[in-house]
């Protein structure tokens, strides 16, 4: 079955370009993405005018990037190609034989591509999925430890498809050497993984680095790494290239320290900080997996993100997806684009369809801004809403709607709502509760654990059994907002909830903590 | 002696390949191998054997005792 909003590759081969465009336009007209809803014409998604604390020129660059803009990830897709297998440092949360769940890169056992294969794959995907606006290189190793392969790929793509934005993720060790090349390729986003700014902390995260033809260990290694990272970041900022910082939160090692990291990177011009939970299990074969280092709980992670939020923009929707993933965030279509299939494909880069689609999305996004304002005034009527704040888990397939069956959800988006409004604060991955039509008891428990800090879960549909169990666990299963817009529904639920509390029908209670699912994210 | 790569451990990551001062390292069936005739154990170039220093898997680039110790000219 194809995800709803675009056509699959087989269909394209059957229909041909003109019909494809018609069909796309129809589909867009039908579901309207995050735009107006059928009933009241209210909007639901984030504003198109950009966050208040972001400079307009920065917003202009990031608004269509699914990783950087919470709103864009409803409409636009990115892909990663695995052309860079070598790495120049070792992290304790990574075993390069396998997929790394922390740094969004596949293991070296995954499909490796030459720059030529990678370029062809990108063009094939971009022609099939007009939302594909971003190409990233993030691994399997470090892109800048493989500068020839990385830059060759960029060169090939920028020639044929200049409208695709290029970005790369690096550990930063080699960054200062390549900033000029990065600038020449018009790369406007670089992600640096910064887990520490203090070598005392760093020595517990990095056993060694390979630098200037030598292997360095301990404090020396961490000292060189942090100096190079900060130097690289400053150089990017000086050239107007956007930098996002990724940090892996490792309880007991760098959790407190990340507040300091946040200050250090902000003062050097980073525009976004993404704190991700350590993902660690013995079967990953990593140092942290084997020595039992635990990852943070959902509330620990949220508390740290909240602590840093006053300082700068936090990115909450990162799913730590694999570096060879294709698709809208949270959905992976890479199986359609394996090397065999690509080799057999005739690729015609279709710039016009892409442009048409992207223009439509733009109009739709503009339309949401005014409606969003109306919603705010609605909420203002609630005054302080008794100081109540709720977390709500939402089962969604995208387009900003409550449109997933509880049993089919491989993740829940979490919204926080209070009298000031609703905001997206993260997502929780779960194992599918329902496999082949019947639910399994064990996985229901893990779902409950993953959303245990939420007051309600919004679904398109839910069976009787899980419904009762959720109620027993104190989570309100709600299907009355099926196929409606998320933020609107969240606000409606909240107003109703506050009303019931005021009428004395229910008493408001805060909820406990929740688990973070371990393991790399490969969307089903 | 020269260095050799333990094929069963090699991840094929290619980190060693560009670092060798003698271009002794090449890919074969997804893993990397060292040409013992070209390897100088990095003597005359670097203090550390570069393949060892760059390799992410411990004890993968090791001394091949089947060859006599390299003598710098
Ligand atoms: S891992 Fe996924 S969500 Fe995170 S930055 Fe990369 S593509 Fe975006
Ligand atoms: S020891 Fe030095 S010369 Fe020999 S293969 Fe390794 S890198 Fe090349
Ligand atoms: S660095 Fe080690 S693992 Fe990587 S290709 Fe060379 S020998 Fe194999």
- Residue-wise pLDDT tens digits, A247-296: 999 999 999 999 999 999 999 999 888 888 888 777 777 888 888 888 88
Quick check: is A479 in a domain?
Answer: yes
Quick check: is A315 in a domain?
Answer: yes
Q: Domain of B31: which CATH number?
A: 3.30.70.20
Separation of A365 CA from ligand 1 center, angstroms? 22
Q: Are both A336 and A379 inside the same structural domain?
A: no
Quick check: is B41 in a domain?
Answer: yes
On whether any CB of chain B is under 8 Å from the CB of A214, the answer is: yes
Burial class (CB in 10 A: 0-12, 13-18, 19+), A44: buried
Quick check: is B72 in a domain?
Answer: no
CA distances from A484 to A1, A35, A377 (A): 22, 11, 20
Separation of A211 CA from ligand 3 center, angstroms? 16
Quick check: is B70 in a domain?
Answer: no
Q: Domain of A379: which CATH number?
A: 3.30.420.130
- The complex's ipTM works out to 0.91
Atom of ligand 2 at shortest range from CA of B46: 2
Quick check: is A389 in a domain?
Answer: yes
Residue A227 has pLDDT above 90, yes or no: yes
Q: Which domain holds residue A441?
A: 370-502
d(CA A281, CA A303): 23
CB-based contact A521:A322 (threshold 8 Å): yes
pLDDT of residue A499: 85
Segment B34-61 shows an average pLDDT of 93
Q: Which residue is it, tokens 């994210």?
A: A521
Q: Are both A331 and A428 inside the same structural domain?
A: no
Domains identified in chain A, total number: 2
Calculate ∠ Cα A188-A79-A334, nearest 5°.
Answer: 175
Quick check: is B59 in a domain?
Answer: yes
Q: Which residue is it, tokens 């099939």?
A: A128
pLDDT band at A373 (very low <50, low <70, confident <90, very high): low
Ligand 1 residue neighbourhood (C-beta within 6 Å) = A 67, 78, 104, 318-321, 329
What's the whole-number average pLDDT of chain A?
Answer: 74
Does the beta-carbon distance from A213 to B19 stay under 8 Å? yes
Residue numbers in B near A290 (CB within 8 A): none
> Which residues 49-68 of B are in CB contact (within 8 Å) with A?
50, 52-54, 56-57
A9-35 tens-digit pLDDT: 333 333 334 344 344 333 333 332 222
pLDDT of residue A68: 54
Residue numbers in A near B46 (CB within 8 A): 213-214
Q: Are both A148 and A253 inside the same structural domain?
A: yes
Question: Which ligand is the nearest neighbour of the Cα of A108?
Answer: 3
- SS3 call for B72: coil
pLDDT of residue A421: 79
A425-469 tens-digit pLDDT: 777 777 554 443 344 456 788 888 888 889 999 999 998 888 898
């Amino acid at each position: 079955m194809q995800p709803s909003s675009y056509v699959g590759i087989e269909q394209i081969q059957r229909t041909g370009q003109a019909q494809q465009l018609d069909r796309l336009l129809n589909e867009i007209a039908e579901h309207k993405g995050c735009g107006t809803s059928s009933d009241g014409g209210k909007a639901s998604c984030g504003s198109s005018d950009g966050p208040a604390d972001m400079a307009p020129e920065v917003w202009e660059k990031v608004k269509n990037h699914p990783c950087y803009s919470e709103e864009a990830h409803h409409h636009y897709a990115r892909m990663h190609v695995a052309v860079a297998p070598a790495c120049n440092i070792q992290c304790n949360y990574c075993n390069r034989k396998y997929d790394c769940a922390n740094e969004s890169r596949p293991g070296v056992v995954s499909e490796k591509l030459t720059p030529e294969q990678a370029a062809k794959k990108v063009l094939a995907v971009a022609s099939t999925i007009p939302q594909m606006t971003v190409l990233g290189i993030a691994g399997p190793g470090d892109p800048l430890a493989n500068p020839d392969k990385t830059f060759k790929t960029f060169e090939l793509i920028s020639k044929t498809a200049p409208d695709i934005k290029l970005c790369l993720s690096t550990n930063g060790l080699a960054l200062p050497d390549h900033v000029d090349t990065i600038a020449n390729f018009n790369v406007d986003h670089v992600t640096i993984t910064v887990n520490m700014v203090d070598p005392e902390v760093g020595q517990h995260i990095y056993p060694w680095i390979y630098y200037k033809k030598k292997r360095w260990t301990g404090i020396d290694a961490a000292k060189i790494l942090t100096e190079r990272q900060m130097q690289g970041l400053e150089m990017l900022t000086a050239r107007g290239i956007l930098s996002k910082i990724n940090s892996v939160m490792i309880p007991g090692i760098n959790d407190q320290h990340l507040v300091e990291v946040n200050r250090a990177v902000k003062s050097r011009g980073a525009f976004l900080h993404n704190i991700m939970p350590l993902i660690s299990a013995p079967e990953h074969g990593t140092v942290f997996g084997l020595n039992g280092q635990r990852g943070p709980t959902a509330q620990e992670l949220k508390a740290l993100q909240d602590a840093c939020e006053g300082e700068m923009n936090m990115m909450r929707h990162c799913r730590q997806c694999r570096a060879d993933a294709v698709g809208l965030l949270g959905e992976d279509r890479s199986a359609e684009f394996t090397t065999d299939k690509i080799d057999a494909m005739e690729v015609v880069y279709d710039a016009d369809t892409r442009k048409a689609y992207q223009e439509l999305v733009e109009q739709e996004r503009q339309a949401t801004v005014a409606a969003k304002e109306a919603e705010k005034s609605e909420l203002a009527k609630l005054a302080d809403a008794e100081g109540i704040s709720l977390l709500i888990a939402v089962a969604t397939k995208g387009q900003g709607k409550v449109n997933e069956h509880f049993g089919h959800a491989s993740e829940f988006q979490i919204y926080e709502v209070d009298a000031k409004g609703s905001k997206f604060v993260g997502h929780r991955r779960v194992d599918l509760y329902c496999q082949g039509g019947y639910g399994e008891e064990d996985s229901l428990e893990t779902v409950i654990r993953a959303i245990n800090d939420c007051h309600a879960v919004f679904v398109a549909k839910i069976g009787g059994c899980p419904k009762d169990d959720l109620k027993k666990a104190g989570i309100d299963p709600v299907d009355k907002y099926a196929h409606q817009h998320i933020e609107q529904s969240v606000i409606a639920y909240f107003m109703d909830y506050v009303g019931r509390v005021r009428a004395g029908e229910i008493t408001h209670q805060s909820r406990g903590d929740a688990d973070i699912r371990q393991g790399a994210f490969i969307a089903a | 002696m020269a260095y050799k790569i333990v094929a069963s451990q090699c991840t094929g990551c290619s980190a060693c390949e560009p670092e060798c001062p003698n271009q002794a390292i090449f890919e074969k069936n997804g893993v990397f191998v060292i040409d013992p005739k070209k390897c100088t154990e990095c003597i005359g170039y670097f203090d550390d054997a570069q393949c060892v220093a760059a390799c992410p898997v411990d004890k993968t680039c090791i001394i091949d005792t089947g060859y006599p110790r390299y003598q710098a000219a």
